[in-house]
Structure 1
């Protein structure tokens, strides 16, 4: 393979045959490289290679498939610095955080490998004498996996690993915004020979490539992490072939800080949940609902923590890098300006010189108070380092405002009132709830959204089983 070979079909790397798309360094706004896109013929061949390889892969003993995943995880660890450098370069993620992402991706391979002997069927009673009914789990077939840019390598493994352990073959379309780490990881993994040719394929390109991949009739499942509108377009495409979909979409997570909360714990947790990865996390706390009795004390603590975060060159020892690109920068800075014009108070943060470079997409951790439910900031996902604080007076108001969104991914609650906590975990409309802690899902949990935050989910038992389908066997032996 050569640096220009970014398409993998049946274990062979080749150059994309369609127009190249630029990958931009968000710290300088300079083009890192052009990545050529796959054309229709390459997309078709990639899906065909997966369809041809999948039946034999499904017949391989599960423990052998697990060994392949462990080898893939070891490969990521052996090349940690190279992959972390690519993530740092294309995403603007601080190098220490980029190393954590590679380590996390390797751990995901190893965790999912443990499902080789844990996927179980069922035996149910039959109506007839001398008959058994068996429910077994079988692969779905060819899986199209479309990844996002905020955690490019982690999300790549989060989809590929469970698809492979359950006997499926995969065609990956990495995000065109930050594809380099995924491409290089795939090159390194295929070079080890741990996977048979055709089991893991990769095509590059933008939305048109993703749409063509999803529309192929041989694709039986589509898993995507990204924007809500993209997810809806994928569902419409999938309806034509009745392919399954698993969509991990956006969020607008509320964080309720009740009057009896440990304010230092809450401030630490929400600062991380608001500003980690420059706020570019689907589970970020985007609406912070603080009881009036402790509002000022909490805001003081949150501002103090925001001001301590270091923003700068991600290759150095900093906490935050830039946001990903011009589009995201414009969205975040417009949200700040609009919040100010609608009556919000900028308590710290902002964007632009003199404290930040003129080149690049830099935004400081920003705390905004005097936010009200009728403001644009309250009602739109910003996906940036903004912490909007809303003052509340009652539990009923907190729940009403928390649930007044089309999303339903994550929520946070800080309280020591057992009765209130139990009511809130019943009343909050979300797929995952963090109580007295910051964001960060566990591999053995289940990361899933309700409402417009998606369909399906990732991680744990349910994240693996979604890549299977049930086959019912009526076995008469009399």
Structure 2
């Protein structure tokens, strides 16, 4: 079992102030694979003090030098990406091939996109209203607290750490205690890349402990959090006492509207997207709304696609899905599947219990419900597992009404070959992101939602701006 009890503070691995061991569980085996420490107030204070001491020098470093250090970090990350994939697979169960290609790969993708955006970023520029000497300057917010989840560890760590570094902020990262190993490895990459001591600090802990301590700390100017809507509300309340900026990327309950004129692969594509990462993605298209003339055929395709998805250990090579993160999440998903059955949805495939042949590990059967109604629990709650709910609709207006009838607003999807209809629906979605026909939103596009999904905008130029304060200047001398 790995011993990972130390924290990375002020450029060194240090012993926690008090012994508070926490086992990291391999979800593929249900066995402890590592032990970490949960920090207390003394550890948090030490990390924040290191970040505060490093802030003047780091914020004064020219942006070009900060960008160059991030490029060195990318080089280290790329060279050691196999280690990163192994850590992610071990801690949260992502199949090793998927962990390398998608999970670890997300880190290099985001960091590279941030560097590209930063090279064109105008740190100071004219206001543009014809007033001589009127300028807008982007300044680092200051010391920031970063709280990241377990489901896409490096995706979220790099979406926060990279723009904070580029903007000139110093930081304390608290990764999820469920999946901390990848972040601790990332701290090694930071050290190897030569990021100055105190600029990046890592303290492990839980939400009630270190998470709350960071959120309420008077020397932290901003909290960037990704996780549940419930936790986001708690963080906002705590942070309000110190008037810090709070950026939240929270849950989702994405709708996927499939019109009868959609391409032949639309339904299969939607099912595969839903099941990716074992359904543990906030932007998963978990509600499929199918136009009635195409409904029966869609159910056939959805059933066959789900039944063709293999479930196996995260340590096995191949194209399959792994376990969910822990016993609590497994139990929650089983409860929601039971609710779907009880409330009258048609169980097309999957259902309760583990897949056949898997008696240990937090494995869930890929599950598809049909004939759902908007009021059903499985249509309203974020399940965060491989469970898809399908229902028919008759008109575009009805589909949009159902799609937008949710407290969430992260990502919605539409499938149609009618360009005018696609564009109408994309604009009508009440969400931070909208995607048609399986297309990419583009490198450097912002990721974030509205309403109960939070209003963070992570990625590219928008992600850098999130870690900056804008300063309005008059009397600038050319």
TM-score bracket for this pair, using the shorter chain length: over 0.9
CA distance in 2, matches of 1:442, 1:320: 26
78, 92, 105: which one aligns with 2:107: 105
**2:269 matched to 1:269?**
yes
**1:49-448 → structure 2 map (5 Å cutoff):** 49-100=50-101, 101-120=103-122, 121-124=124-127, 132-190=133-191, 192-207=192-207, 208-262=209-263, 264-316=264-316, 317-352=318-353, 355-437=356-438, 442-448=442-448
CA contact (8 A) 1:47 1:142 kept: yes
Deviations 1:90-112 (A, max 9, x none): 11100011112222212322322
| 241-250 vs 105-114, which moves further | 105-114
CA–CA separation in structure 1 for the residues paired with 2:186 and 2:413: 34
2:84 and 2:476 map into 1 onto residues whose CA distance is 54
Pairwise CA distance, 1:150: 0.5
Q: TM-score, normalization: structure 2?
A: 0.95
CA-CA distance at 1:351 after TM superposition: 4.2
State how far apart, in whole Å, the 2-side matches of 1:307 and 1:118 are.
47
Q: Distance in 2 between matches of 1:238 and 1:196?
A: 28
How far residue 175 of structure 1 moved from its aligned partner, in angstroms, is: 0.5
Compute the displacement of 1:30 (Å): 1.3
Contact 1:292 1:393 in 2 (8 A): yes
Determine if contact 1:414/1:436 at 8 Å carries over to the other structure: yes
Q: CA deviation at 1:15?
A: 2.6
Helix, strand or coil for the counterpart of 1:43?
helix
CA 1:299–1:476 in structure 2 vs 1: closer, same or farther (change >3 Å)? closer
For the Cα contact (< 8 Å) 1:273–1:283, is it kept in 2? no
CA contact (8 A) 2:286 2:389 kept: yes
- Structure 1's consecutive aligned runs of 4 or more residues displaced over 4 angstroms after TM superposition are 125-128
Query: Structure 2: how far apart are the matches of 1:375 and 1:69?
Result: 47
How far off is 1:32 after superposition?
Answer: 1.6
Alpha-carbon distance in 1 for matches of 2:422, 2:193: 50
Q: Deviations over 1:331-377 (max 9, x none)?
A: 11111111111111111122435614121111121111111122111
| Count of aligned pairs between the two proteins | 472
User: Which has the larger displacement, 402-411 or 414-423?
Assistant: 414-423
Question: By how many angstroms is 1:441 displaced?
Answer: 5.0
Describe the superposition over 1:38-95 as per-residue Cα deviations: whole angstroms up to 9, x where unpaired. 1211111101111110111111121211111111111112212222111111111000
Alignment check: 8 A CA contact 1:414 1:435 kept: yes
Asked if the contact 1:326–1:361 (Cα under 8 Å) also holds between the matched residues in 2, the reply is yes
Using the TM superposition, name which of 196-205 and 335-344 deviates more. 335-344
1: CA distance, partners of 2:91 / 2:204: 15
Shift of residue 124 of structure 1?
3.1
Please give the alpha-carbon distance, in whole angstroms, between the structure 2 residues aligned to 1:89 and 1:202.
20
Q: Which stretches in structure 2 are left out of the alignment for 5+ residues?
A: none
Is the alpha carbon distance of 1:126 and 1:415 closer, same or farther for their aligned partners in structure 2, counting shifts above 3 Å? closer
SS in 2 for 1:444: coil
- Structure 1 4/419 Cα, relative in aligned 2: closer, same or farther at 3 Å? closer
Please tell me whether the aligned partners of residues 245 and 455 of structure 1 are also in contact (alpha carbons under 8 angstroms).
no
Tell whether 2:14 aligns with 1:14.
yes
Cα gap change, 1:115 to 1:424, in 2 (>3 Å): closer
Pair 1:472 & 2:475 matched: no
| Structure 2 CA distance for aligned equivalents of residues 125 and 80 of structure 1 | 44
Query: Normalising by structure 1, what TM-score?
Result: 0.95
| Alpha carbons 1:92, 1:323 under 8 Å: kept | yes
Match of 2:34 in 1: 33
Aligned to 2:134, what secondary structure does the other structure show? strand
CA distance in 1, matches of 2:227, 2:32: 23
SS of equivalent residue, structure 1 residue 93: coil
Distance 1:255 1:4, change over 3 A: closer
Distance 1:477 1:261 in 2: 58
Contact kept? 1:66, 1:114, Cα under 8 Å? no
Distance in 2, Cα, partners of 1:249 & 1:266: 27
